[in-house]
Amino acid sequence: MRTILHNAAAGSSVRFYELGSLFHLLETVFPVDIRFFKNGAIFAEATSMEGGFFSQPVNGFDAIEIDSANAQAVKFALSDGSGGYNRTTGAVQIIGQQGVMVQAAKEVTDASGQLLAANAARRMLLIQNNHETGIIYVAVSGDAATGAAGIKLAAGGFILLDEFVPSGAINAIGSILNNQSVVVVEG
């Protein structure tokens, strides 16, 4: 694969005599027109193409012509086989979701009870059991919590849901009569 950087003048039309079967337009600032030649005749044309365009004519080509209405650097690649060039230009900025968090101390008893009401806007859920010995069992399905079917949070344990978050009621039951050391955060 051969890479060519062509400094096109405004209103220019430049022919490149190169044998090939793959043309890949890598970078442009403005759109360009491309013509493919075989034995001196145009057999295909692509208009208003930008970086990322590629073509693999079945019988190849022996020349290409690039028209540019604007002055610009045009970078392209030619090959007599297959090849590739995958590059993203520009900038990508990833920003995490932001929002208001509500934090509260909750009490969990030895009977199933609601820890949090249903919340269709919930995007994050953290439940922490800060008790020294008590265990809590959490049901995120909206059903009553049980020791057999609940998510077990041992003393000092926590659960964080921040990808797929339940929007229904959150219920809990504890292994001790009264656990006032449970913290919930939702956002």
Query: Does residue 94 lie within any of the structural domains?
Result: no
Please indicate, yes or no, whether residues 11 and 42 belong to a single structural domain of this protein.
yes
DSSP state of 172: E
Q: What is the mean pLDDT of residues 118-144?
A: 96
Residue that terminates a domain, selected from 43, 64, 79: 79
Query: Does residue 176 lie within any of the structural domains?
Result: yes
> What domain range includes position 167?
102-186
> What is residue 98's predicted lDDT score, i.e. its pLDDT?
82
Q: What is the mean pLDDT of residues 52-81?
A: 94
Query: Does residue 85 lie within any of the structural domains?
Result: no
Query: Does residue 69 lie within any of the structural domains?
Result: yes
pTM of the model: 0.53
Please indicate, yes or no, whether residues 109 and 67 belong to a single structural domain of this protein.
no
Residue located via tokens 């504890």: 174
Both structure tokens of 129:
């059991």
Interatomic CA distance for residues 151 and 54, integer angstroms: 53
Please indicate, yes or no, whether residues 16 and 54 belong to a single structural domain of this protein.
yes
Q: What is the CATH number of the domain that holds 57?
A: 2.60.120.380
> What is residue 96's predicted lDDT score, i.e. its pLDDT?
76
Query: Does residue 171 lie within any of the structural domains?
Result: yes
Residue 22: strand, helix, or coil:
strand
Please indicate, yes or no, whether residues 49 and 109 belong to a single structural domain of this protein.
no
Query: Does residue 51 lie within any of the structural domains?
Result: yes
Please indicate, yes or no, whether residues 64 and 110 belong to a single structural domain of this protein.
no
Q: What is the mean pLDDT of residues 166-183?
A: 97
Residue 89: pLDDT band with limits 50, 70, 90: low
Q: How many domains does the chain have?
A: 2
Cβ–Cβ under 8 Å, residues 127 and 174: no
> What is residue 99's predicted lDDT score, i.e. its pLDDT?
86
Cβ–Cβ under 8 Å, residues 43 and 62: no
Summarize pLDDT for 93-128 with one digit per residue, the tens: 787 778 899 999 999 999 999 999 999 999 999 999
> What is residue 140's predicted lDDT score, i.e. its pLDDT?
96
Please indicate, yes or no, whether residues 179 and 111 belong to a single structural domain of this protein.
yes
Query: Does residue 87 lie within any of the structural domains?
Result: no
> What is residue 83's predicted lDDT score, i.e. its pLDDT?
67
Q: What is the CATH number of the domain that holds 182?
A: 2.60.120.770
Return the half-sphere exposure (C-beta side, CA atoms, 13 A cut-off) of residue 172.
32
Q: What is the mean pLDDT of residues 68-83?
A: 90
Q: Is the pLDDT of residue 21 over 80?
A: yes
